[in-house]
Amino acid sequence: MERTYLMVKPDGVQRNLAGEIISRFEKKGYKIVGLKMFRMSRELAEKHYGEHAGKPFFESLVDYITSGPVVAMVIEGKDAVSAARDMMGATNPLKAAPGTIRNSYGIEIGRNVIHGSDSPASAAREISLFFKEEEIIEYSRDVDRWIYE
Protein backbone atom coordinates (compact mmCIF):
# COMPACT_ATOMS: atom_id res chain seq x y z
CA MET A 1 0.00 0.00 0.00
CA GLU A 2 1.21 3.44 -0.90
CA ARG A 3 0.24 7.00 0.07
CA THR A 4 0.12 10.12 -2.04
CA TYR A 5 -0.52 13.81 -1.48
CA LEU A 6 -3.36 15.38 -3.47
CA MET A 7 -4.58 18.95 -3.37
CA VAL A 8 -7.57 20.67 -4.93
CA LYS A 9 -6.02 23.98 -6.00
CA PRO A 10 -7.67 27.37 -5.31
CA ASP A 11 -9.48 27.39 -8.69
CA GLY A 12 -10.99 23.98 -7.91
CA VAL A 13 -12.20 25.18 -4.52
CA GLN A 14 -13.61 28.44 -5.95
CA ARG A 15 -15.42 26.50 -8.66
CA ASN A 16 -17.04 24.17 -6.11
CA LEU A 17 -15.22 21.13 -7.47
CA ALA A 18 -13.63 19.95 -4.20
CA GLY A 19 -16.38 17.45 -3.39
CA GLU A 20 -16.48 16.13 -6.95
CA ILE A 21 -12.71 15.61 -6.98
CA ILE A 22 -12.56 13.97 -3.54
CA SER A 23 -15.40 11.75 -4.67
CA ARG A 24 -13.49 10.38 -7.65
CA PHE A 25 -10.77 8.99 -5.39
CA GLU A 26 -13.29 7.67 -2.86
CA LYS A 27 -15.34 5.96 -5.55
CA LYS A 28 -12.28 4.32 -7.07
CA GLY A 29 -11.61 2.70 -3.73
CA TYR A 30 -8.78 4.74 -2.28
CA LYS A 31 -8.87 5.35 1.44
CA ILE A 32 -8.65 8.94 2.63
CA VAL A 33 -6.27 9.03 5.59
CA GLY A 34 -5.86 12.82 5.81
CA LEU A 35 -8.08 15.72 4.75
CA LYS A 36 -8.08 19.44 5.44
CA MET A 37 -8.56 22.94 4.06
CA PHE A 38 -6.02 25.71 4.47
CA ARG A 39 -4.57 28.69 2.70
CA MET A 40 -0.93 28.27 1.77
CA SER A 41 1.65 30.85 2.77
CA ARG A 42 4.09 32.10 0.12
CA GLU A 43 6.90 30.50 2.09
CA LEU A 44 5.25 27.08 2.00
CA ALA A 45 4.30 27.50 -1.67
CA GLU A 46 7.90 28.34 -2.62
CA LYS A 47 9.08 25.28 -0.72
CA HIS A 48 6.45 23.01 -2.23
CA TYR A 49 7.24 24.16 -5.78
CA GLY A 50 10.99 24.56 -5.15
CA GLU A 51 11.89 22.46 -8.21
CA HIS A 52 10.32 25.18 -10.40
CA ALA A 53 12.13 28.16 -8.83
CA GLY A 54 13.62 30.35 -11.56
CA LYS A 55 11.24 29.17 -14.29
CA PRO A 56 9.22 31.87 -16.09
CA PHE A 57 5.92 30.72 -14.55
CA PHE A 58 7.22 30.40 -10.97
CA GLU A 59 5.94 33.73 -9.61
CA SER A 60 2.49 33.31 -11.17
CA LEU A 61 2.39 29.72 -9.89
CA VAL A 62 3.06 30.92 -6.32
CA ASP A 63 0.44 33.70 -6.76
CA TYR A 64 -2.06 31.11 -8.00
CA ILE A 65 -1.53 28.50 -5.30
CA THR A 66 -1.69 31.12 -2.50
CA SER A 67 -4.71 32.95 -3.99
CA GLY A 68 -7.30 31.12 -1.88
CA PRO A 69 -7.88 28.01 0.18
CA VAL A 70 -6.86 24.57 -1.01
CA VAL A 71 -8.32 21.22 0.01
CA ALA A 72 -5.49 18.81 0.75
CA MET A 73 -5.72 15.09 1.23
CA VAL A 74 -3.61 12.02 1.68
CA ILE A 75 -4.98 8.89 0.09
CA GLU A 76 -3.79 5.35 0.60
CA GLY A 77 -3.99 2.27 -1.58
CA LYS A 78 -2.32 0.10 -4.19
CA ASP A 79 -0.10 2.15 -6.53
CA ALA A 80 -1.71 5.35 -5.23
CA VAL A 81 0.98 7.71 -6.59
CA SER A 82 0.92 6.71 -10.23
CA ALA A 83 -2.80 5.85 -10.31
CA ALA A 84 -3.70 9.29 -8.94
CA ARG A 85 -1.45 10.95 -11.55
CA ASP A 86 -3.27 8.96 -14.25
CA MET A 87 -6.66 10.00 -12.82
CA MET A 88 -5.52 13.66 -12.83
CA GLY A 89 -4.27 13.66 -16.42
CA ALA A 90 -1.49 15.67 -18.07
CA THR A 91 -0.39 19.02 -16.63
CA ASN A 92 -1.97 20.91 -19.55
CA PRO A 93 -5.73 20.22 -19.36
CA LEU A 94 -6.08 20.53 -23.13
CA LYS A 95 -3.58 17.67 -23.50
CA ALA A 96 -5.03 15.57 -20.68
CA ALA A 97 -6.79 12.36 -21.70
CA PRO A 98 -10.59 12.48 -21.85
CA GLY A 99 -12.23 11.59 -18.57
CA THR A 100 -9.29 12.66 -16.43
CA ILE A 101 -9.86 15.34 -13.79
CA ARG A 102 -7.84 18.02 -15.57
CA ASN A 103 -9.47 17.21 -18.90
CA SER A 104 -12.94 17.24 -17.39
CA TYR A 105 -12.62 20.45 -15.39
CA GLY A 106 -9.82 22.60 -16.80
CA ILE A 107 -8.66 24.45 -19.90
CA GLU A 108 -5.45 26.29 -19.00
CA ILE A 109 -2.16 24.92 -17.63
CA GLY A 110 -2.10 27.70 -15.03
CA ARG A 111 -5.60 26.73 -13.80
CA ASN A 112 -5.39 22.96 -13.75
CA VAL A 113 -7.50 22.34 -10.65
CA ILE A 114 -5.49 19.65 -8.86
CA HIS A 115 -2.01 18.79 -7.65
CA GLY A 116 -0.72 15.27 -7.07
CA SER A 117 2.71 13.98 -6.05
CA ASP A 118 4.77 12.75 -9.00
CA SER A 119 6.73 9.95 -7.26
CA PRO A 120 6.79 8.05 -3.96
CA ALA A 121 9.69 10.27 -2.84
CA SER A 122 7.74 13.47 -3.63
CA ALA A 123 4.71 12.00 -1.88
CA ALA A 124 6.69 11.42 1.32
CA ARG A 125 8.13 14.94 1.14
CA GLU A 126 4.78 16.63 0.43
CA ILE A 127 2.83 14.64 3.04
CA SER A 128 5.30 15.71 5.73
CA LEU A 129 5.33 19.29 4.43
CA PHE A 130 1.55 19.69 4.73
CA PHE A 131 0.38 17.20 7.35
CA LYS A 132 1.44 16.66 10.92
CA GLU A 133 1.88 13.03 11.90
CA GLU A 134 -1.23 13.15 14.13
CA GLU A 135 -3.33 14.44 11.22
CA ILE A 136 -2.86 11.16 9.35
CA ILE A 137 -5.46 8.68 10.56
CA GLU A 138 -4.78 4.94 10.61
CA TYR A 139 -7.99 2.93 10.39
CA SER A 140 -9.35 -0.17 8.69
CA ARG A 141 -12.35 -0.35 6.39
CA ASP A 142 -14.63 -3.35 6.11
CA VAL A 143 -15.17 -2.54 2.44
CA ASP A 144 -11.51 -3.22 1.62
CA ARG A 145 -12.26 -6.90 1.03
CA TRP A 146 -14.60 -5.83 -1.79
CA ILE A 147 -11.94 -3.56 -3.31
CA TYR A 148 -8.87 -5.79 -3.02
CA GLU A 149 -8.78 -9.54 -3.69
Stretch that binds Mg ion, among 67-75, 80-88, 110-118, 132-140 (CB under 5 A): 110-118
**CB atoms closer than 10 angstroms to residue 94:** 12
State which of positions 76-95 bind ligand IDP (CB under 6 A). Answer: 91
The SS3 call for residue 3 is: strand
Q: Specify the residue, 57 or 148, whose C-beta has the smaller distance to ligand IDP.
A: 57
The verdict on 110 binding ligand IDP (CB under 6 A) reads yes
Residues lying near ligand IDP in the complex (CB under 6 A) are found at 57, 61, 91, 109-110, 112, 115, 118
Residues lying near Mg ion in the complex (CB under 5 A) are found at 118
